[in-house]
Amino acid sequence: MSAFFVVRAQVVDPSMKEAFDKWYQDEHLPDAMKAFGAKARAVPGSEAIKPLIAEFDRLWGKKVLRTREVVRVVQRIGS
């Protein structure tokens, strides 16, 4: 079974989008990959996510609206 951990982030102020995208790609995502690797289902509620959330909130607060979910693949069509 496959699962994907999906984070949706909506940058409230469009002028901050480039800075957010750079930070997310260069800092946040690499830190998340180090913390979790491919264990997407273990992410929500884990101890490892707490410092990532704190850093996200410290830097972006209410400037970026965020949701998280785990999406489970229930069927694959084709190869």
Structure tokens at 28: 């946040």
Q: Is the pTM of this model over 0.75?
A: no
Confidence check: pLDDT of 55 > 90: yes
Structure tokens at 16: 């901050």
SS3 77: coil
> Nearest 5 degrees, angle CA 7-CA 39-CA 73?
70
Amino acid (one-letter) located at 58:
R
Q: What is the pLDDT of residues 3-54, one digit of tens each?
A: 677 788 899 999 999 999 999 999 988 888 888 775 766 676 788 888 888 9
CA 71, 55, 60, 17: dihedral to nearest 10 degrees? -60
- Beta carbons of 19 and 11 less than 8 angstroms apart: no
